[in-house]
């Protein structure tokens, strides 16, 4: 599997340091919460980010899960975000933090932000590990960003291509011949 990667963009240690810094920022932001926050996590790409992040958070928290498909099968292009399933605690009046692996075309986050807002939480903020700044729509606000990256399709640390490579401990790019040609 490691042989399929042509370039490591963000190393394991760089991710660890940045996730720790993000957790510190979140701890400060939510220092005043008494009833805790709800982390709405977008599956499956965000599971590793979530697991590493929450073990560094000092406040009370609950987890909600939401599954969105937008890159089905062997593709590096969004085919439109579809809400596949949701398992969420009651969000009404609560402090909600949406967690996603990557802000790319923005379709997934827009769908999830709309869905969460419909449940009438007190406050909604969003944290993403990665942001492709050139692609991300200007009118889609995210409050916390781990890394800004270029437009290349990346895998690892939760992110997949065709369901694979989520378990790589770093963020990298695959060898070009592994991406199937798309018309």
- Is the Cβ of residue 61 or residue 142 nearer to ligand HPA in the bound state? 142
List, in order, residues 6 or more apart from 43 with CB less than 8 Å away.
65, 66, 67, 68
Min dist CB 5 to Mg ion, Å, is: 16
| The only residue of 49, 71, 157, 170 in contact with ligand HPA, by rule CB under 6 A | 71
Question: What is the Cα–Cα distance from 75 to 96, expressed in whole angstroms?
Answer: 31
Residue nearest to ligand HPA (CB): 104
Which residues from 137-166 bind Mg ion, rule CB under 5 A?
Answer: 160
Catalytic residue list:
104
How many residues interact with Mg ion (rule CB under 5 A)? 2
Give min distance, CB of 134 to ligand HPA, in A. 12
Per partner kind, with CB cut-offs from 5 to 8 A, the member of Mg ion, ligand HPA, none near residue 68 is none
Angle at 127 between CA 156 and CA 96, to 5 degrees: 130
Q: State the helix-helix crossing angle for 12-29 and 47-54, rounded to 10 degrees.
A: 60
Helix (H) or strand (E) holding 75: none
Per-position x/- string for 68-97, each x denoting binding to Mg ion as judged by CB under 5 A, each - no binding: ---x--------------------------
| Residue 81 interacts with, from ligand HPA, Mg ion, none (CB under 5-8 Å by kind) | none
Q: How far is the CB of 106 from ligand HPA (least distance, A)?
A: 10
Contact 70, 82 (CB under 8 A): yes
State how far the Cα of 127 lies from the Cα of 129, in Å rounded to an integer.
7
Q: Return the residues of window 132-161 that contact ligand HPA according to CB under 6 A.
A: 153-155, 159
Dihedral sign for Cα 173, 174, 175, 181, please. negative
Q: Which is nearer to ligand HPA, 52 or 104 (CB)?
A: 104
Residue 100 interacting with ligand HPA (CB under 6 A): no
3-state percent breakdown (helix, strand, coil) of the chain, nearest 5:
25, 35, 40
Task: Please report, as ranges, the residues that interact with Mg ion according to CB under 5 A.
Answer: 71, 160
């Amino acid at each position: 599997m490691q042989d399929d990667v042509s370039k490591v963009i963000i190393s394991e240690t760089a991710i660890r340091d940045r996730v720790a810094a993000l957790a510190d920022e979140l701890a400060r932001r939510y220092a005043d919460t008494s009833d805790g926050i709800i982390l709405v996590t977008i599956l499956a790409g965000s599971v590793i980010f979530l697991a590493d992040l929450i073990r560094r958070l000092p406040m009370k928290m609950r987890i909600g899960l939401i599954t969105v498909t937008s890159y089905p099968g062997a593709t590096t292009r969004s085919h439109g975000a579809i809400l596949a399933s949701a398992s969420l605690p009651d969000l009404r009046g609560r402090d909600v933090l949406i967690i996603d692996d990557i802000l790319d075309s923005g379709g997934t986050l827009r769908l999830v932000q709309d869905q969460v807002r419909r449940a009438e939480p007190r406050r909604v903020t969003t944290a993403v590990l990665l942001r492709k700044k050139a692609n991300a729509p200007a009118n889609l606000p995210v409050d916390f960003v781990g890394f800004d990256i270029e437009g290349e399709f990346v895998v690892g640390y939760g992110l997949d291509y065709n369901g694979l490579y989520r378990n790589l401990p770093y963020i990298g790019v695959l060898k070009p011949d592994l991406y199937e040609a798309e018309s």
